[in-house]
Structure 1
Amino acid sequence: MMRLFLDECLSPRVANELMAEEGYYVVHPRNQGGLGEADHTVLARCIENNLIVVTENARDFRALAARADIHPGMIILPCLGRVQAKALIGAAIAHLGTLGDPSDVMVNKVLEAEADGTLTLYDLPEE
């Protein structure tokens, strides 16, 4: 089962819809507490709870993940609206499913989505 943490920059409605419609386990700080927490605290919690980070805050999370020995992965989205963000998350998960179990595929990886739907998967930290 996909276990996701949607950063507070994303709508909590996206989290609710992904849980209700797709059956994913999704944590959003607005629903679980933690609004305004520092990014390093968020990443530490995601590592501890094996949650893939989904964020529009690429620069900060990419830098933090690059320093982690192991992390559950990160999906980086462009800054778009709720509907487009949800569609890109769905496309990202579908793409990962073609590569194997998405949770396994994402370990120490980043999947970066572009507004046009282009998906790029890479190692972080770099091997």
Structure 2
Amino acid sequence: MRLFIDECLSPKFAIDLAQLGHDAIHPLHVGRRGPLDHTVKETCLAEDRVIVTENVGDFKALLGREPIHPGLFALPQTSRAHGWTLMTAALSFLETRGDPMDAMVNHYLDFDAQGRPALHALSSSDD
């Protein structure tokens, strides 16, 4: 998957995801520290990257205005170790649905109280 790991998350996520074969970047590694959320959104749209963040509300609002977008992973605020466990569970969940990038188009992924991933529609065409 093509993933953008938001600044609020550990840059190690991008490194670990790359080791699993994903195209994952973190602002620290690509010289993009400090951009505003709308700039992150525009860059991720242009690069076809799923945004992975704890800053869910802002990105849901921004992506929800788009007719088409690559998707949003909504990780809860938690420890890095638990966040990694949730991330790998989400990737496994998406792989059962075919191409994970296709499954994420116009969706956001979050987790229930038991840590199970769930997909939800998110686009301006859902109004």
The TM-score bracket by the shorter chain reads: over 0.9
TM-score by length of 1: 0.93
Spell out structure 1 runs of 4+ moving beyond 2 A.
Answer: 113-116
- 1:98 paired to 2:84: no
* CA contact 1:78–1:115 (8 Å) conserved in 2: no
Partner of 1:10: 9
Partner of 1:78: 76
Partner of 2:46: 48
Alignment partners' CA distance in 2, 1:25 and 1:5: 9
Equivalent position SS for 1:5: strand
* CA contact 1:51–1:72 (8 Å) conserved in 2: yes
Give the CA RMSD over aligned residues.
Answer: 1.2
Shift of 1:5: 0.4
1:79 corresponds to which letter in structure 2? Q
Change in 2 beyond 3 A, CA 1:107/1:16: same
1:31 corresponds to which letter in structure 2? H
Unaligned runs of at least 5 residues, structure 1? none
Equivalenced residues, count? 125
Shift of 1:113: 2.2
Equivalent position SS for 1:45: helix
Equivalent position SS for 1:110: strand
Partner of 1:58: 56
Superposed, 1:31-46 pairs within 5 Å as 31-46=29-44
2:41 corresponds to which letter in structure 1? L
* CA contact 1:5–1:27 (8 Å) conserved in 2: yes
Alignment partners' CA distance in 1, 2:2 and 2:113: 23
Shift of 1:116: 3.0
